[in-house]
Amino acid sequence: MSDTETTAVAEAPATETTPVVTPKQTLDITEIMAIIPHRYPFLLIDRVIEVEPRVRIVAIKNVSMNEPQFQGHFPDFPIMPGVMTIEAMAQAGAALMLTEYSQEDRADKLIFFTGIENARFRRPVTPGDQVRIEVKVIQWRSRAVKMEGSATVDGKVVCDATFSAQLVPRRREAAPATKSPTAE
């Protein structure tokens, strides 16, 4: 068959026994930056490899010796701070939540941590590691979520935690002006 020829492939219609499969969604770094507000040096996810809306997300963090935290944590034995692994899980969760909003709606919103529970750091993460971050939704409300996250390197869990976050306006409303007492 030549390069210009095509073959028609008949697709079976979806029935009760053959479910329709939704294609896997992925996001590159540019698309991630269009969704969450974090930027270098604090943007801690490099790629999203799976998204199931309102259910789960899988992201990748490539750890490099060029990252600034390794200058002081620790100079002779570089280890990614565990709190940064938790932050990477939170950023993946934020990306999952914010994909439910249009770009226009996202422009005036931020997601804040509201709690971290049962955080466990099981193995060190070092330069050269590729961290696979999986975040699953436990509870989803219109402006708040509770999720559980797990980070693995080479199939071994390095960190896991349950965390919650809330969607808030990007700009706070100004407090009403109060009259200051004046001397008469």
Query: Which positions are catalytic?
Result: 73
**Quick check: 89 and 158 in contact, CB under 8 A?**
no
Q: Do β-strands 130-140 and 144-153 pair in parallel, antiparallel, or remain unpaired?
A: antiparallel
| Two tokens, residue 52 | 């199931």
Cα 131 from Cα 82, distance rounded (Å):
12
Mention every residue, 6+ apart, whose C-beta is less than 8 A from residue 112.
165, 166, 168
* Alpha carbon separation from 35 to 29, 118, 128, 161, 167 (Å, rounded): 10, 27, 26, 23, 13
| Residue 41 identity (one-letter amino acid) | P
Cα 82 from Cα 106, distance rounded (Å):
28
Match 């005036």 to its residue by tokens: 108
Cα 151 from Cα 145, distance rounded (Å):
19
